[in-house]
């Protein structure tokens, strides 16, 4: 990033060896400073000696940059989902899902595969369903077998998909209830690319939902802003985490 905004970005799977993936990415990217965030932040810190921030903070700062009046960030990624209440880019309160995969991108991914769709098709197809088949299981494992039996009983795959999206939505809304929320809500993370979830969220909450142009890099933008601030001002971040070269 520079003063005009994002110059370039790369999205890649963490894979089984996140560190070499990061190093590969960095090799092709010019950079003045690095701040790491996300689950692998400590790994990055250890090898790159860079400062770290949590994804909670990163999303708050990133969302605030993209939408300065943002009050709530909803982030649904592959691993977990979070709700963050923000004011002027500062975290006021946050909640994360508990340790299981229900209500995360992983859930959608598994279900899409079970139904024979790609992840991209999944949201699209569901938007065209005429009637949702209700899904009762929240657990990824149980929902999977529920779907298998629904398919064999002849239910329409489109309608099952819609049912699944609705069950995720209920889970998300329950999570949001734990912190409370105000509009505008910035919807970020990989799942925000799913048009069906975004649509359902809008109609259910009747609130202003903002979608970033690239929902998967909101946290990266937040970290980049911290990295930028760090070289332009006297920002030192948390102690023991000063950059040592790179």
Residues that bind other proteins (CB under 8 A): 39, 42, 53-57, 80, 91, 94, 96, 98-99, 238-240
**DSSP type of residue 133:** P
Angle at 238 between CA 236 and CA 239, to 5 degrees: 85
∠ at Cα 130 (127, 131), nearest 5°? 105
The least CB distance from residue 75 to other proteins, in Å, is 12
Bridge partner list, 113: none
CB of 62 to other proteins, least distance (A): 14
Q: Of 100 and 205, which CB lies nearer to other proteins in the complex structure?
A: 100
Nearer to other proteins, 53 or 133 (CB): 53
**CA proximity to 55, closest of 241, 222, 228:** 222
Query: Smallest distance from the beta carbon of 204 to other proteins, in angstroms?
Result: 26
Spatial CA neighbour of 62 closest among 214, 190, 222: 222
C-alpha distances out from residue 197 to 60, 166, 168, 219, Å: 21, 8, 8, 20
- Name the residue nearer to other proteins (CB basis): 96 or 207: 96
For residue 5, list its beta bridge partners.
Answer: 2
Q: What are phi and psi of 114, to 5 degrees?
A: -60, -35
Of 156 and 243, nearer to other proteins (C-beta) is: 243
Minimum CB–partner distance for residue 148 and other proteins (Å): 25
Nearer to other proteins by Cβ, of 31 and 87: the residue is: 87
Least distance (Å) between residue 130 CB and other proteins = 38
């Amino acid at each position: 990033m520079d003063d005009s905004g994002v110059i370039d970005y790369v999205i890649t799977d963490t894979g089984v060896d996140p560190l070499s993936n990061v190093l590969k990415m960095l090799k092709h990217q010019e950079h003045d400073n690095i701040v790491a965030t996300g689950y692998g932040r400590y790994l990055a810190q250890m090898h790159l000696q860079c400062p770290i921030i949590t994804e909670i903070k990163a999303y708050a700062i990133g969302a605030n940059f993209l939408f300065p009046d943002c009050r709530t960030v909803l982030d649904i990624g592959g691993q977990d989902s979070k709700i963050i209440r923000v004011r002027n880019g500062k975290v006021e309160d946050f909640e994360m899902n508990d340790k299981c995969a229900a209500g995360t991108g992983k859930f959608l991914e598994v279900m899409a595969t079970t139904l024979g769709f790609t992840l991209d098709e999944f949201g699209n197809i569901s938007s065209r369903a005429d009637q949702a088949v209700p899904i009762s299981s929240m657990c990824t494992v149980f929902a999977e077998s529920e779907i298998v039996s629904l398919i064999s009983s002849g239910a329409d795959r489109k309608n099952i998909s819609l049912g699944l999206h609705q069950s995720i939505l209920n889970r998300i809304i329950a999570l949001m209830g734990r912190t409370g929320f105000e509009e505008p809500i910035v919807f970020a993370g990989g799942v925000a690319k799913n048009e069906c979830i975004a649509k359902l969220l809008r109609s259910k909450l009747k609130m202003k939902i903002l979608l970033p142009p690239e929902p998967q890099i909101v946290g990266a933008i937040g970290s980049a802003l911290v990295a930028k601030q760090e070289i332009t001002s006297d920002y030192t971040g948390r102690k023991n985490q000063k950059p040592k070269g790179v």
